[in-house]
């Protein structure tokens, strides 16, 4: 960029107001006549509505309660026949495409039949699933949800 290519408005002067009626912004300096907004000193707060009720008081109260807990991912019992004699935990269920993320709770629900023995390591399962797993020769172990490891690695640079 060269000197003649600079924008002219780069060093635009601030408009001086209240410097005579011929200047265009003289006398009331663009503030109108009288009123609280024309005065100097303390200004109005951003959401001030001028005598009417505030927006926070006009909006209706929201009833109910929205839980912030993430719901458990559901896996059905007949899907576990894929793991013939192997361990089924969050990561193996994720790699098989049965759940969307391994870092959330997983609940196994009874649907269909379990024909293969499976070592089930998930956060929860229904009573009927626990009975069906032990009947098929497998085991159920309640485990905690694995923590999501941060992908950021801290590198130390030597000086």
pLDDT tens-digit profile, the chain (159 residues): 898 887 777 677 888 999 998 988 999 999 999 988 888 887 888 888 877 888 888 899 988 999 999 999 999 999 999 998 899 999 999 999 999 999 999 999 999 999 989 999 999 999 999 999 999 999 999 999 999 876 454 445 555
Domain residues for the domain of 121 are: 73-142
Q: How far is CA 90 from CA 10, 99, 102, in A?
A: 58, 8, 5
* Residues forming beta bridges with residue 119, ordered by sequence position: 87, 139
Decide if 98 is inside a domain: yes
* Residues forming beta bridges with residue 76, ordered by sequence position: 109
Decide if 32 is inside a domain: no
DSSP states of 8-20 as a string?
A: GGGGPPPPP-SS-
Q: Would you call 114 exposed, middle or buried from its count of C-beta atoms within 10 A (0-12, 13-18, 19+)?
A: buried
Decide if 133 is inside a domain: yes
Our count of domains for the chain comes to 1
Decide if 130 is inside a domain: yes
Decide if 42 is inside a domain: no
CATH number at residue 94: 3.100.10.10
pTM above 0.85, yes or no: no
């Amino acid at each position: 960029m060269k000197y003649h290519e600079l924008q002219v408005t780069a060093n635009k002067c601030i408009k001086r107001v209240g410097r005579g009626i011929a200047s265009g912004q003289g006398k009331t300096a663009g503030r109108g006549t009288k009123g609280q907004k024309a005065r100097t000193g303390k200004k109005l707060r951003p959401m001030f509505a001028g005598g009417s009720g505030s927006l926070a008081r006009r909006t209706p109260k929201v009833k109910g309660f929205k839980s912030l807990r993430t719901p458990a991912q559901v896996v059905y019992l007949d899907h576990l026949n894929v793991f013939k004699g192997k361990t089924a935990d969050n990561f193996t269920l994720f790699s098989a495409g049965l759940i969307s993320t391994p870092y959330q709770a997983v609940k196994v629900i009874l649907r269909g039949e379990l024909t293969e023995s499976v070592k089930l390591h998930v956060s929860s399962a229904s009573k009927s699933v626990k009975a069906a797993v032990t009947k098929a020769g497998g085991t159920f172990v309640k485990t905690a949800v694995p923590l999501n490891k941060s992908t950021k690695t801290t590198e130390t640079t030597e000086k």
